[in-house]
Amino acid sequence: MTCEETTQLLSQFIDDVLPPALRVTVDEHLDHCPVCRADVAEYRSVSRSLRQLSRPVPPSDLAASINAALLIEAAARRQSPERSWAERLSLWLEPRLMPYGVGSFASVVLFGAMFVALSPHFMALQQASRQLSTVLVFRSSPGYDLNQPVSSEDFSNRRAPFAEQSPSLNPGGALAALTSSYAHPHTNQEGDDMIVVADVFSNGSASLADVVQAPRDRRMLADFEVALRQSAAFVPASLDRRPDTMRVVFTVQKVDVRERSF
């Protein structure tokens, strides 16, 4: 028998409740194991100390005081009015339904708070959906021929959701022709870009107000100013339904596109 097995049986060994065969096995182990013998001696010392403790003596009037308390409680219950079935049902349901009621109220409050917080996003999505519907209706409208030149009215209607914030470029103006020329391949010409500020007036004409980023090629800026003076760069304010005068930032990029054979 191992020390671990013997330790689990020491309490029963000291109380002399082990079967005879198992007690003999424990005795044989204790003869050869001083550690377990020391544990047995310690347990027996604790047991002797517990037996020497004095037993508590209950008060002489303990039984009388308990009986008096019971009589008082019984009299109080007899004098209390009988509860109706509705009161008994309420007392039975209250501890069971209260957690569900609190949880339901908290769920309603949380849903209301989330709806209030998300309502601006819902309104923004609804507005974006209306703007997208306007664009799709215009694109699907009959009579729009891709082979024909785009008029100022058509281009302005196509940009209807954004025309109030930024003016529409006049598709037949000199500025549109200038910017379109930057999309064609140029021989021995590097890419360049510039950022300018222009004042746009009610009739669509514009004037250069400031140069934020000048191009490396000064001719690019000169051509831009000539195009502004040559013809109306933007459509009239009445077509865009925008303010009569507004200031816009105009970015022009010239990209070098070289033809390659693949």
What does the H/E/C string look like for 99-114?
A: HHHHHHHHHHHHHHHH
How many other C-beta atoms are found inside a 10 Å radius of the C-beta of residue 88?
11
- Whether 208 and 225 have beta carbons less than 8 Å apart is answered as yes
* Among 155, 178, 166, residue whose Cα is nearest residue 253: 178
Coil, helix or strand at residue 31 = helix
Residue 144 carries which side chain, given as an amino acid letter? Y
**pLDDT score, position 137:** 46
Cα angle 191-194-195, degrees, rounded to a multiple of 5: 150
CA dihedral 234, 235, 237, 239 (to 10 degrees): -150
* Among 189, 260, 196, 261, residue whose Cα is nearest residue 222: 196
**pLDDT score, position 225:** 87
Coil, helix or strand at residue 256 = coil
Q: Which two tokens stand for residue 118?
A: 């998300």
Residues of the chain with pLDDT under 50: 137-144, 146, 187, 261-262
Integer angstrom CA distances of residue 191 from 175, 252, 255 = 18, 11, 4
How many other C-beta atoms are found inside a 10 Å radius of the C-beta of residue 41?
10
**pLDDT score, position 232:** 87
Integer angstrom CA distances of residue 199 from 1, 156, 202 = 103, 19, 10
Rounded to whole angstroms, how far apart are CA atoms 168 and 83?
82
Integer angstrom CA distances of residue 51 from 10, 37, 40, 46, 56 = 18, 21, 17, 9, 13
Strands (E), the chain: 192-200, 206-213, 246-254
Q: Which two tokens stand for residue 14?
A: 């000291």
**pLDDT score, position 25:** 92
**pLDDT score, position 144:** 47
Q: Which two tokens stand for residue 219?
A: 């001719």
